[in-house]
Amino acid sequence: MDKSLSQDEVDALLQAVRSGKVEESAPAPEPQAVHSRTSISSYDFRKPRLVSNDHVLGFKLIHAAFAKRMSGTVSSMLKVSLDAKTASVENISFNEFTAGMMNPTFVVTAGVSPHSGEIAIEISLPILFTLLDAMLGIPASAAAPESREPTAIEKSLAGGIVDIMLADLHEAWAGVSDMHFKTRTIESNPEFARVAAADALVLCATLDLRCGETAGTINICYPLDVILPVLSKVAAKFSGKKSAGTVSVDGREIMLRSLAAVPFEIKAHLGSGRIPTQQISRLKLGSVICLDSRTDDPIMVQIGAKPCYNGALCSSRSRVAVRVVSRVENSRDDNGGN
Task: Tell which wins on pLDDT, 33 or 95.
Answer: 95
Helix (H, G, I), strand (E, B) or coil at 261: coil
- CB distance 55 to 222 below 8 Å: no
Helix (H) or strand (E) holding 28, with range, is: none
DSSP strands (E only) in 105-213: 106-113, 118-123, 180-187, 201-211
pLDDT confidence tier of residue 334, bands split at 50, 70 and 90:
very low
**Residue 150 neighbours by CB distance under 10 Å:** 19
Query: What is the biggest distance separating any 2 CA atoms in the chain, rounded to whole angstroms?
Result: 129
Q: Check pLDDT > 70 for residue 257.
A: no
- The number of C-alpha atoms within 13 Å of 235 and in the hemisphere containing its C-beta is 14
Over residues 70-87, the mean pLDDT reads: 90
Residue 313's CB is within 10 A of a number of other CB atoms, namely 15
Alpha-carbon dihedral 195, 201, 106, 82, rounded to 10 degrees: -130
Instruction: Work out the percent of the chain whose per-residue pLDDT is above 90.
Output: 29
Is 80 exceeded by the pLDDT of residue 332?
no
- Please report the pLDDT score of residue 252 as a whole number: 65
Q: In the predicted model, is pLDDT for residue 275 greater than 50?
A: yes
Q: What is the pLDDT of residue 336?
A: 44
Cα 313 to Cα 315: distance, rounded to the nearest angstrom:
7
* pLDDT score of 103 more than 70: yes
Q: Which CATH architecture has domain 53-239?
A: 3-Layer(aba) Sandwich (3.40)
Q: Could you tell me the pLDDT band of residue 35, with boundaries at 50, 70 and 90? A: low
Q: Which pLDDT value is given to residue 139? A: 76
Q: How confident is the model at residue 313 (pLDDT cuts 50, 70, 90)?
A: confident
Per-residue pLDDT of 188-203, as tens digits, reads: 998 888 899 888 999 9
Q: pLDDT by residue (tens digit) across 45-59?
A: 555 556 778 888 888
The pLDDT-based confidence of 227 (bands split at 50, 70, 90) is confident
More confident residue, 271 or 39: 271
Taking residues 81-99, report their average pLDDT: 90
Q: Cis before residue 114, ω within 30 degrees of 0?
A: yes
- CATH 2.30.330.10 holds for 264-275+292-332: yes
Q: Measured between alpha carbons, how far is 114 from 121 in angstroms, rounded to an integer?
A: 19
Q: Report the pLDDT value the prediction gives residue 230, as an integer from 0 to 100.
A: 86
Q: What is the pLDDT of residues 109-149, one digit of tens each?
A: 999 988 888 999 999 999 999 999 999 888 766 555 567 88
Average pLDDT, the chain: 80
pLDDT at 182 exceeding the cut of 80 = yes
Q: What pLDDT sits at residue 128?
A: 92
pLDDT at 232: 80
Domain parsing of the chain, residue ranges: 53-239, 264-275+292-332
Q: Do the domains 53-239 and 264-275+292-332 sit in the same CATH topology, yes or no?
A: no
> Which letter, b or e, does each residue of 325-337 get, where b requires 16 or more Cβ atoms within 10 Å of its Cβ?
eeeeeeeeeeeee
Residue 331 has pLDDT above 80, yes or no: no
